[in-house]
Amino acid sequence: MVIDMNYWGKVMKNIIILAVSIIGVYLGFKLAIFYIPFLIAFIISLLLEPCIRFIMRKTKLKRKTSSIIVFIVAIVLIVGLLVWSGVTLVTEASNLLMGLNEYFEQGYALVQEMLSKIDFTKLQIPENIMSTIQNSAMEFLGTLTQWAKNALTGAINFLTSVPTIGVYTVITLLALYFICVDKVYMIDQLEHHLPETWVKRIGIHLKGLVKSLGGYLKAEVTLVFISFVITLIGLYIFHFVGLNVQYPLLMALIIGFVDLLPIFGSGTFMIPWAILTACTGDFTLAIAILVLWVIISVVRQFLEPRIVSGSIGIHPIFTLIAMYTGFKFIGILGMIIGPIILIILKNIFATFIDKGVFKSIFER
């Protein structure tokens, strides 16, 4: 039997490229999390770049002067939002944490009331199964309450750790200043220290990645931000008119987070919230929540075709698998990171995917 060394050499080369690329993406995310202040500064700088160019074009000022003007305005807005949201979130989270036991008791009473209205004798359900259903419902409520306590406690601890937040904020702002002011210098230095072939290859991949991932993230963040603002305004209106919305900012953040998840949407949280509110007898708030959800959905459907330039070309089932994989590895945050990694891998292995992954690796 003659072994074709050229063929198996090609196969091993493709497998090694595949493995190294996946390891590289994994290490890249690890480094991104480790250097999170610089990543945040880089993302903010991308958002500020159009403003800097606009001022340069309209006023004929140099990049450094235009960057400083935009940076100062951004600092005022960012610090103001951080202070307001931090104080509000700590207050709302603390109040919610203290009232969780009361909400658990209300949930227990609601479940008991719903079960008592069902005539199980007609359904002929054995008593042991009924007992199991009740215990499972109580266990679910208990687990949900404990998860909420842990999440709220963690959020409060993070928001009240002033030295840690202070260090993160200062480093992020300093990095943002240098990136905005010295962007051209940094790019020149990068090109100077890297081989020319690397620069070309990295440039090609970055252009494709920015087009797919950058466009997707920019569109999603814009849509989620609009949904968050509408939700926040709506919930504060409900709060001020006397409806039972005690934690508007916290609820708006939760809805915004759910809306950020691919496949899911604001209705994933708002519809069950409206149903539970209706079950407690507060039909006015339930209708108000549904009306707010309809407004968010209509605005999103109207804006989405105009903001999202095109589909990312990934079937929802693969997005769902990526979300589940991310969740299993790093928890709730992984549901957002998983699809992002999927988009990056799709961009890197576009040639492999177009031809067929296994065909690309094993075909002669």
Cα separation of the two ends of the chain: 18
Query: pLDDT value at position 288?
Result: 92
Asked if residues 138 and 108 have their Cβ atoms less than 8 Å apart, the reply is yes
Q: What is the mean pLDDT of residues 239-259?
A: 86
pLDDT bin (cut points 50, 70, 90) of residue 269 is confident
Query: pLDDT value at position 201?
Result: 67
Q: Which residue has the tokens 């549904």?
A: 290
What is the CB neighbour count within 10 angstroms for residue 137? Answer: 17
Tens digit of pLDDT for each residue in 34-54? 888 888 888 888 778 888 888
Tens digit of pLDDT for each residue in 12-32? 877 787 788 778 777 877 887
Q: What percent of the chain has pLDDT over 90?
A: 5
pLDDT exceeds 80 at position 179:
yes
Contacts of 277 (CB under 8 A, 6+ apart): 244, 285, 286, 289
pLDDT exceeds 80 at position 298:
yes
Query: pLDDT value at position 233?
Result: 92
CA 87 to chain centre: 22
Which of 272, 275, 266, 253 shows the shortest CA–CA distance to 293? 266
More confident residue, 316 or 322: 322
Asked if residues 246 and 95 have their Cβ atoms less than 8 Å apart, the reply is yes
In the numeric block, which tokens belong to residue 36?
Answer: 């999170």
Domain positions in the chain are 37-196
Asked if residues 345 and 326 have their Cβ atoms less than 8 Å apart, the reply is no
pLDDT bin (cut points 50, 70, 90) of residue 1 is very low
Q: What is the mean pLDDT of the chain?
A: 77
Which of 314, 258, 327, 248 shows the shortest CA–CA distance to 285? 248
**d(C-alpha 219, C-alpha 264), whole Å:** 16
More confident residue, 121 or 129: 129
Helices 162-181 and 36-59: angle between axes, nearest 10 degrees: 40
Q: Which residue has the tokens 């919230």?
A: 273
Lowest mean pLDDT among 132-136, 253-257, 337-341: 132-136
Q: What is the mean pLDDT of residues 184-196?
A: 72
Query: pLDDT value at position 210?
Result: 66
What secondary structure letter does DSSP report for 315? -
Helix extents (H) in the chain:
5-34, 36-59, 63-98, 100-116, 120-123, 127-160, 162-181, 183-193, 196-209, 215-240, 248-260, 267-279, 283-307, 316-330, 334-348, 350-355, 357-362
**d(C-alpha 272, C-alpha 261), whole Å:** 17
Q: Which residue has the tokens 């708006």?
A: 252
Query: pLDDT value at position 43?
Result: 80
Query: pLDDT value at position 359?
Result: 63
Tens digit of pLDDT for each residue in 210-224? 666 666 777 777 888
